[in-house]
């Protein structure tokens, strides 16, 4: 079982060129009151209107990649840039604290011959704060789950009738192999 992703990703395949797919998404953004966004080929973004946003409101970043037979939309659900910047900055502070504690205590250990208490207390505290930061991000993601669903619904509505499918879904247009151990009919 995979661990929950802080910035979940998925891929959608559409049987149309990338430019047309992005035009459909742009038309949905303009006609829908539920989402806002922009399109600048090969990129697009869906986000919540300002009146509906809160700290953990998601946005959906899209990248349209032309391929044989259609377009693959690479989709990523992520927080607002200021929230993501703060999250990464907090991880950087925790990483610097862990390195600083380790270097200080290892130097002290080399000089005095015994490790200090900070090594055995400080590193677990930093690790605990890292776990708390990760769980806080997952809690914020859970709080924005309804908005993530809405963004996904709007993307599906933009592509409705164009036979979109998740890339991980099985393709059912392959010939069937005979069952193992049975003669073909």
Give the separation between CA 151 and CA 112, rounded to whole angstroms.
58
Which tens digit of pLDDT belongs to each residue from 124-137? 999 999 999 999 98
pTM listed for this prediction: 0.74
Which tens digit of pLDDT belongs to each residue from 104-121? 998 988 998 887 888 888
Q: Which residue has the tokens 């890292």?
A: 130
- Judged against a pLDDT cut of 80, whether residue 25 lies above it is answered with yes
Instruction: Say which DSSP state 180 is in.
Output: T
CATH of domain 9-79+145-166: 3.30.310.80
- Provide the residue ranges of all domains of the chain, joining segments of one domain with +: 9-79+145-166, 83-139
Q: Which residues contact 97 (CB under 8 A, 6 or more apart)?
A: 122, 126
Q: Which residues contact 165 (CB under 8 A, 6 or more apart)?
A: 12, 13, 171
Q: What angle do CA 69, 174, 25 make, to 5 degrees?
A: 35
pLDDT of amino acid 113 = 84
Residue 177, φ and ψ in degrees, nearest 5:
-85, 150
Find out whether the peptide bond into 33 is cis, omega within 30 degrees of 0.
no
């Amino acid at each position: 079982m995979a661990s929950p992703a802080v910035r979940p990703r998925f891929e959608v395949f559409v049987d149309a060129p990338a430019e047309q797919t992005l035009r459909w998404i742009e038309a949905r953004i303009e006609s829908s009151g539920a989402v806002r966004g922009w399109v600048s080929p090969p990129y697009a973004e869906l986000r919540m209107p300002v009146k509906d946003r809160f700290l953990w409101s998601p946005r959906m970043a899209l990248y349209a990649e032309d391929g044989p037979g259609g377009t693959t939309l690479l989709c990523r659900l992520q927080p607002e840039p200021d929230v993501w910047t703060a999250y990464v900055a907090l991880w950087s502070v925790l990483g610097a604290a862990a390195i600083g504690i380790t270097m200080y205590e290892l130097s002290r250990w080399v000089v005095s011959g015994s490790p200090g208490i900070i090594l055995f207390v400080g590193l677990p505290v930093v690790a605990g704060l890292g776990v708390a930061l990760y769980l806080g991000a997952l809690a914020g993601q859970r709080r924005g789950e309804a908005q993530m669903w809405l963004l996904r619904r709007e993307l599906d509505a933009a592509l409705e009738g164009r036979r979109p499918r998740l890339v991980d879904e099985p393709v059912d247009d392959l010939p069937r192999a005979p069952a193992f151990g049975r003669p073909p009919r």
